[in-house]
Structure formats: structure tokens, C-alpha cells
Chains A and B, each alone.
Chain A
């Protein structure tokens, strides 16, 4: 390690303060701090610090995403081969999925991180780790056959417009990963919706139907999948959002480590269940009478509520606010699905909508704290005669 450290220190020399390439220091720092936690010591404030930092937090989210991602890669191949009715092994399916998905992950990281580095150097701050998660989330919520250049443009749009334009990590209003998806959804609708995009090669091979469950329901068709299949995730859909089981594994990691807010997750499930149940009672069309439990299992609801709604930057910041925010996401998700069957992606639209309202929710909660304090002041005003 000492050898590597020495090499790195040599490499950093031109980037030092007053050095030739000082301006580009954030770039080399990003690599250096990836390999080594820096030797910086505390100068003011607390003399000791927790071992947690943003890198650790973000890599915990990535660990939580991996089960869903790996299953998503397998499921992409599984959907393709099983609809073709050809015999295949686990490895075949995995390789098929990898060929499609890993390039997307690479493109997403490459484009996004390049923009992040440029902005970091331009603004003279360190590269924030937020994109490590965003960059993995974006391919995970795209349809399998989306061309790579569309991924690249969506990423560029979301990082520049949704994030850096607002001031970078920590300042953005909208979740960058969902913004990327929303951009692709509205810019390239033929690649992002319909019944030909959700299974690998569905648009090229006639034998493959790419219809999702919510798509079939909206079209008034029979559902071909059992509840167990919805839970395990062997259904068509965006790349990594289908398996509730593996998303739950991620949820457990997030909740145990405290990185993801259990309040948002729980209240989101409560909100969606309640509205789903009320629609069940109403039951005017197949989407309304679709069991509320199944509503929780399909359409990326689980993925959205576990990995997207809990993004701390775009969610509400107060604990009380988190309950309201999560609950409303659940409510709006089902409302959008049922009342506008053209948008089965209710959850992602619901989260983006609530992203916009999150600061308002917080505002009222904080105002109530301020009001309570002022009321206490008024009650204790010194008596002036």
C-alpha cells in the first residue's frame, strides 16, 4: 500500500495548491479519495468524527441495489428465452441480459461522471458521490431495448438540467434518475411505452410479446402471470424493477443501515394499499378491481418506493414530512395508474410530483415549529403595566 500511496502522492504533485494543474485538483482528488480515505484531520468543531461519509453511504445504496440488478440481468434473458420457447440455462439468460445491460451501465456512468467532473472542476468543489447511485439507477429503470445513445442523452439531460442547474448534489428538486426516465419517456415514447419494449428483442421478433401486467389490464386483457411470479419478478418490465423479493432484500439493507428512510417506505405502502383497497371496493374497471396487494407487486411500485422515493435530497427532510410524503406517493401512484391507463408507470410520475411538493410539506412542518415557539414567547411576555 505504501508504494501505491507514494506513487499517488507523486502523481498529485502538479495538482497541489499553486501547482501547474491546480484547477483540475477535484479530478485527481476523486480518484485518490476513492483509493484512500484522506489523512485530513479535524481543525475546528468536533475533534473526532464518525467513520461514515458520503462514499460509505452511497456504496451502501449500491450494495442494496445489487440483488435487484443481478436478478434484472437474469430476468431480461429469461423473458427473452422463455417467450421464444427455446431451452436455455441460467447462464444463457444471464449472458443475454449482461450483453444488453452492462453497456447501458457503462454509458450511464461514463456520460454522467464526465459531466460531474467537468462541473466539479468548473465550480472548484470536490466530486460528490451522488452520481454513483444515480448512474446505476438510470439503466435499472429503463426498458431493455432502449438504444445506448438515448441513455446517454437522458443522462446528460438529467445531470445538467435536473441536478447541476440547481447547484449540484444536495440542491436538486427532482430525483435525477427519474428525471432521466421522464425525459426518455416523453422524448422517445415509442421506445419507452407500449407492448413491444418490455422484453428483449420484442420489437424485432414477432413471437415475443412485451406486454406488461398493467399494460394488459389497461387493454382489458387477461393477466398471464400468477401472484408468485409478480413477487419473484419473472415478469416483463423495466430492467431491474420486477422482482419484489430482491427489492425487499435491498430494502432490508437500507433500513438496517439507516441509509433509506423506513418512514417513507412504510407510509408509501400504506398509502398505496389504502387507495388500492378503496378502488377494489369500487371496482368499475379491471384496473380498479386489480387486487390492492397485486398493485404493490407490479409496475415498479416496490422499486420506486424503496430506491427512488427515499432519495434524501428530493424527499422531505423532516421526519413528520416523510410520513406525509411517502403516503401521498402511494396514493398518487395508484390514482395515476387507475385514472390514466396510458401511464402505467404511476409510481415514477407520483414520485416526481411529490418531489416538487416536498419542500412545501417541509415548509409547513417547520413553520408549525416556529409558530409553536412564538406562541410560547407570547404567553411568557413580561407583563408591562
Chain B
């Protein structure tokens, strides 16, 4: 089945420094890390101690509330340190590779005799369960349920977005067999969302409902796609998997070894040769950055993910679990003389017509991290709706979250959104409201109150 979806509201911002289609293999990592904060509402319990020798697939920690969900080592080597933050919260579990590639192999199941229970058990036992995220709230999936559907977005519409067709070009068969496995789990309910203007090999995928999406960002966000096709109702659960993890799951099922390949695009205006790297989930940033020419005359910000909803990291840190993108943009800690004058400073991209930036956008904007103003009371109305293509009143939902009004939040659609859907609102709103933060706090409140 193929269907078209058109997203009309939103905005695509063309930023300088998109990655070239060059793929470099990273063979020698400095270190690799599991970062518990990559998983929403996750509290890790350690299974091994600092200094322990681990192989690929050795269980490292598990989820406090469900010991079946384990996290395994992506490389073989030594667990060198556990970095902790306030109240001994685990921030990073760092593993130093020894390049011996010792691995734990599991008995491969025959793909023809797979049942949903067998699939789930195999994913859990091999530590591949975290590849699956569950909506509402984007948490680790619940192994006890069969979801209503599984959604896969092969579109990256955010600025500096990656090209999944390019990332998966050598794994087309694996992708198909991954889809087949998922289709055994939820027969007929695997939904694959692809870019209408650039379908790539995805349009030929079988055993999935294919939706061809067109329109501006956030058309690549799964929440938007779900709402346009089969919105989440109260009590319903759906699963979301990113395209590269489908391949990881397929490789796991064919080899019996935990697969954690990750292709990362490192891009942004300070990088003169932005490109893709093939590496391992959680690998260190430095091993990629040293292969690039990065303008160091300015202070730069390194972001795991896109510029709207990514997470700031230090240069010597590690990549996150799910994203395929590292964005680098200059810091904007500069004053601008009379910078608030309308129709001046038009080089800064703006969705508002109080700036003439819409004339200068064709070659791509150079952005920085300046706030371009200060936080103010919510005054302007209607601007959030312009960039929010879902059947939800964003400003009212934000206000309900601020007030902590659970019933209102439910009614206004909190189950259908995750913070990243509010990235454009963060970016474009006049009052500089931290919408993503507010929604995140609202979701945390929901989880606390409802569980």
C-alpha cells in the first residue's frame, strides 16, 4: 500500500554546511559510551564494575523497573570509568576498546519460524531492545505488549538533515529483512514514511505500508506522521524505530551478534568538509572530528542531533544512541547594536516578516547560538500554529503543561507529542519560550502521575 501525505504548515530552514555524500569508516575508536540520558525516563542499574573486561554484547546495565531490558557493550575492551553527576546519577559509562573484537554470539533463530514472542525475547536477550522506542512519551518499549503499529521515518527534515538512502545504501537487503521481522511482530502494521521528492530504494520495500510525505519540516518527525495516518488514542502504544536500527536488528537476526552500527553525518558551517562516518553507537566524537577541517577561529557548539532538538556535547564526549547527525555551529555570544530594529540584521534566518531574511536564504544561512532577544511573556498569538502541522493547539498545550493540569494536557494531545515536535516553536516564537523544556517537564509529570 502506498499513500501520499502532505504537510502544509512548518518551515524548512536551509543552513550552510550539509554533509557531502562521502562515507569514511572509523576503525580506531578512542572510547565508546552508553549514556543513560539518551533514554527518556530510564534509570540504569549496573551489572559490571569499573575495570571489568567486556566483549561486544556483554550486558553492562539494566533498566531499574524491568530487569529484562539490558544494555550491552558496543565494543570489546575495558569498562574504564563511570562518569556520575549530581546525586551519583550515571551520565556516561565509558568503555575503552581493545580492538580484539571479542563478541558474544547467540543461537540464531530460524527466520521462518519466528513468532512475536520469540522476536521480543531475542531482542531482549541480545540487548537490542533499546532500539525500540514507544509512544506516547518516547520511552523504552514495554516488552509485555504488542503495539498497535510500528512507525519508521526515513525522512530527516530538520536543518542539515541526513539522507537515509545514502546511509543505508549498502544494507538494502538487511533493511528489507528487518522490515520482514517487524511485520511478523505486527502483521500489516509496519508503517514506513518516505520522502515524496526523494524516495530512494525505500519505495521498493515490501511488507510495509509506505507513506510518501511531502512538505516542510517537521514532516520528518514521527509524531506528525503518526497523527496524519493513525493518531494515538488514550491507552494505545506504538513503537518507533529509526531506519539504521532496522538494519541493526536484521544483522542481529542473521548473525546472532549484537549489531550497533551507526552512520553519522558531521555537518555545519564551521566544517569545511562535512561528511558521513561509519562508526559504532556511542563512539567518541574526537575520532571523527580529527578527520575534518573545523574552523577554530570561533568558539563552536557541538550538538548531538539537529540544531532544533539536539543536545549540546563537549568535543571530547560521545555520540548519542539514536541520532545520525552531529551539528556544529558557531557560538553567538556577541552583542548586536540596535539588533532589534525591524528589517535590519537580515542574515539571521527568520520566519517572521519583520526581517528581510527571506530574500537572502537561497544559498543557505549561517546560524549561531545567540538567543536574539530575551524571554518575555507570551504576547504574539498564531505564530506557533504556523509551524505546527498537527491537530493540536500548541500554545494551549504549553500553557496546560506550565500549569500542570493533567486533564487538560490529556485532552489537548500530550500523548501525541514529544519535545522534539516543539523544536520549531522554540526556534520561531517571539517570546523566546522554552517550549521543548516545558513539554518535557509536562511529559515527566504525566509519567509520574499516571504510572
Do A and B associate with each other? Answer: yes
- Chain A interface (Cβ within 8 Å of chain B)? 1, 4-5, 33-42, 44-57, 59-60, 63, 126, 128-130, 168-171, 256-259, 261, 312-313, 315, 317-319, 322, 366, 369-370, 372-374, 376-377, 380-382
Task: Write the B165-206 contact mask toward A (1 if CB under 8 angstroms, else 0).
Answer: 000000000000000000000000000000000000000000
Q: Is the CB of B411 within 8 A of A370?
A: yes
Known: A55-B340, A56-B341. A44 touches B434 (CB 8 A): yes
Q: List 26 A-B contacts (CB under 8 A).
A: A4-B337, A5-B335, A37-B338, A38-B373, A40-B371, A42-B370, A45-B426, A45-B434, A45-B435, A46-B426, A47-B307, A48-B159, A49-B426, A50-B348, A50-B429, A53-B340, A53-B373, A54-B430, A55-B340, A55-B373, A169-B377, A256-B353, A312-B381, A319-B385, A373-B411, A380-B236
* Chain A positions within 8 Å of B331 at CB level: 41
Residue B376 at the chain A interface, CB threshold 8 Å? yes
Q: Is the CB of B371 within 8 A of A41?
A: yes
* Chain A positions within 8 Å of B428 at CB level: 50, 52
Q: Is the CB of B371 within 8 A of A42?
A: yes
- Classify the secondary structure of A's interface with B: loop
Residue B63 at the chain A interface, CB threshold 8 Å? no
* Chain A positions within 8 Å of B336 at CB level: 36-37
- Classify the secondary structure of B's interface with A: loop
A372–B382 CA distance with the chains assembled, in angstroms: 21
Picked from B357, B373, B377, B437, the residue with its CB within 8 Å of the CB of A37 is: B373
The 5 A-B pairs at the shortest CB distance, nearest first, are namely A53-B373, A170-B377, A37-B339, A370-B411, A46-B426
Known: A48-B308, A370-B411. A171 touches B377 (CB 8 A): yes
Q: Is the CB of A377 within 8 A of B233?
A: yes
Residue B289 at the chain A interface, CB threshold 8 Å? no
Min CB distance A313 to B, Å, is 6
Known: A44-B434, A52-B354. A38 touches B374 (CB 8 A): yes
With A128-B376, A381-B235 given, name 8 new contacts (CB 8 A). A33-B340, A36-B337, A39-B333, A50-B427, A55-B340, A319-B382, A369-B393, A381-B233
Q: Is the CB of A382 within 8 A of B426?
A: no
Min CB distance A323 to B, Å, is 12
* Chain A positions within 8 Å of B379 at CB level: 54, 57, 128, 130, 169-170, 312-313
Which chain B residue lies CB-closest to A372? B391
Min CB distance B114 to A, Å, is 25
Min CB distance A143 to B, Å, is 29
Residue B423 at the chain A interface, CB threshold 8 Å? yes
Min CB distance A17 to B, Å, is 16
Known: A128-B376, A317-B381, A319-B382. A40 touches B370 (CB 8 A): yes
Q: Is the CB of B371 within 8 A of A38?
A: yes
Known: A57-B380, A169-B377, A317-B381. A51 touches B427 (CB 8 A): no
A60–B356 CA distance with the chains assembled, in angstroms: 13
* Chain B positions within 8 Å of A257 at CB level: 342, 352-354
Min CB distance A91 to B, Å, is 29
Min CB distance A251 to B, Å, is 14
A42–B371 CA distance with the chains assembled, in angstroms: 6
A382–B432 CA distance with the chains assembled, in angstroms: 41
* Chain B positions within 8 Å of A372 at CB level: 391
A45–B381 CA distance with the chains assembled, in angstroms: 20
Q: Is the CB of A51 within 8 A of B350?
A: yes
* Chain B positions within 8 Å of A322 at CB level: 382
Picked from A130, A319, A373, the residue with its CB within 8 Å of the CB of B413 is: A373
A366–B234 CA distance with the chains assembled, in angstroms: 18
Within 8 A of A (CB), among B284-302: 301
A38–B308 CA distance with the chains assembled, in angstroms: 21
* Chain A positions within 8 Å of B329 at CB level: 47-48
* Chain A positions within 8 Å of B36 at CB level: none
Min CB distance B312 to A, Å, is 7
* Chain B positions within 8 Å of A52 at CB level: 350-352, 354-355, 372-373, 428, 430
* Chain B positions within 8 Å of A42 at CB level: 369-371
Min CB distance A7 to B, Å, is 13
Q: Is the CB of B377 within 8 A of A47?
A: no
Q: Is the CB of A47 within 8 A of B308?
A: yes
Residue B412 at the chain A interface, CB threshold 8 Å? yes
